[in-house]
Amino acid sequence: MMTTILGAVIAALVGGLLYTIIGIIPGTDETATMVPITIILVLAGAPAGVLFAWEIGIMVAMQISHTIPTAMTALPGSTMAVPMVLNCSLAKRLGVPHMAMRKMASGSVVGTCFALPLALIVALILSPLGGMIATYSGIIFTICALLIAYISSARWGAVLAVVPFAIFIQALQRIAIEGHGSTVFTSIFMGITIGPMIYELFGAFVPSRRKANSRDKVNETWLAPETKDKLSFFPNPFKQLTKKQIRNCGLWSILSCVGFTMSPVGMTVLSGEASSGQCKELYERIGTSLAVEDSTSNATYLAGLIIPLLGLGGVAIGGVAAGPAAPLFATAPRFEVGNNLAQMMGIPDYLLYGIIGMIGGALVAYPIAMHKARSWTELMMRKISHEALIGAFCGLVVMLSFYEAGILGVFLALTIGLVGGFLHTVFGVHTGVQFMTYYASAWIVTQLITLAGILK
């Protein structure tokens, strides 16, 4: 027990530091950066408590650290920070980017404090349904895939893409059976994860796209000045927000737990719009909107991990469970539906390792966001190449795919990455839709084959 707790503390702190650094780099994608390393830890045999603390820690750290480049440069620190760019840009024009960053970082920590116990309560309420949901997981995955597709920017186009993409996935699985002797998980999943990267890299070999994307000068980014205010090492996040902002953060944390299957980005946008409409002054509106958005962002992530694990028996329902947290639900050969983290942890474990992960992630990211935002942003933008980061994660994907199925696994990952990246970039069928379709694909194709037999 003590060994697992010590391992969880180390994992949360190391994950917190690593993903604080990654979150400061503008434009990073949560799924593409979280999944590869988590899969390595799962396959390495890390204990369940360590994995859970790691996942909570990296989620919390990245949700805090992405506030730094977003506030200081008005460039999104991650996919989840995109809805916050407009208000950060306004704050920068008003000369108060440090206020925006503090509101966001504090809102993120406050949202975490609310979300952890709330998610556990909602999960316990839903837990009697876990067995039934596992029995009907195929049709539930399909319904969720269609729902997530409909609320995406592609709307009906994404809905229509679900069945063809499911057939495509199962066709690749058939190739894997013929060439490898069994279906594959990591190769397909990682291919979807880095699909947008694969598509952009492929575009570099197309003369017209390469010419359109070429640059003849170094990008220039204007950083806001560092604030000179004196704060303690770990400023009380509740004192950085007004009572009204704290109430709104609490309210949207509750709604995030109830809507854990919804898109995290969609919930973030909705919370920001609803909260800003209650404010008359521009300064107040910016601060309230940013605090609530980052709070909702973190709460949705935590709820999307905890509730499917504890409340639904480990069935990966929702954008978070099917995306950034997916390795904890299904990573062959160790985890699968009905035999994953959900069956290895009790309620006290979720609370204990959740608190360890929350503290580990916040202990690193929050002080940096409050004290060293400008210097760390400048360091990351000057010294860390975004292309190098992409290359590193692509290399991880190749390694994991080769480990699973040899050279065939690599080509399967590249194939689905190219198709998935095209759907994501060109048509707006984002990776959340693709992940949920992956989980639903076996059921969808089975029903299609049955229907074809009936209609003969």
Give the pLDDT of the chain (456 residues) as one tens digit per residue: 788 899 999 999 999 999 988 888 776 777 778 888 898 899 888 998 999 999 999 999 998 888 888 877 777 777 777 778 778 878 877 777 777 888 888 999 998 899 889 998 988 888 887 667 667 778 878 887 888 788 777 889 999 999 999 999 999 999 999 998 888 877 887 788 788 888 888 888 888 888 777 777 776 666 656 666 677 778 888 888 888 889 888 888 888 888 777 767 767 777 877 777 777 788 788 888 888 888 888 888 899 899 888 888 788 877 788 778 888 888 878 888 778 888 888 888 989 999 999 999 999 888 888 877 667 667 766 776 767 767 777 887 888 888 888 999 999 999 999 999 999 889 988 877 887 888 889 899 999 999 888 877
Domain limits at 23?
2-212+235-454
Is 129 part of a structural domain of the chain?
Answer: yes
Is 428 part of a structural domain of the chain?
Answer: yes
Cβ(72)–Cβ(260) below 8 Å:
no
Q: In terms of residues, how long is the chain?
A: 456
Is 222 part of a structural domain of the chain?
Answer: no
Is 406 part of a structural domain of the chain?
Answer: yes
Number of domains comprising the chain: 1
Q: Is 101 helix (H, G, I), strand (E, B) or coil?
A: helix
Is 219 part of a structural domain of the chain?
Answer: no
Is 86 part of a structural domain of the chain?
Answer: yes
Cβ(399)–Cβ(290) below 8 Å:
no
Which residue in 219, 264, 242 sits closest to 59, CA to CA?
264
Distance CA 88, CA 86 (A): 5
Is 228 part of a structural domain of the chain?
Answer: no
- Tally Cβ neighbours within 10 Å of residue 255: 20
Is 336 part of a structural domain of the chain?
Answer: yes
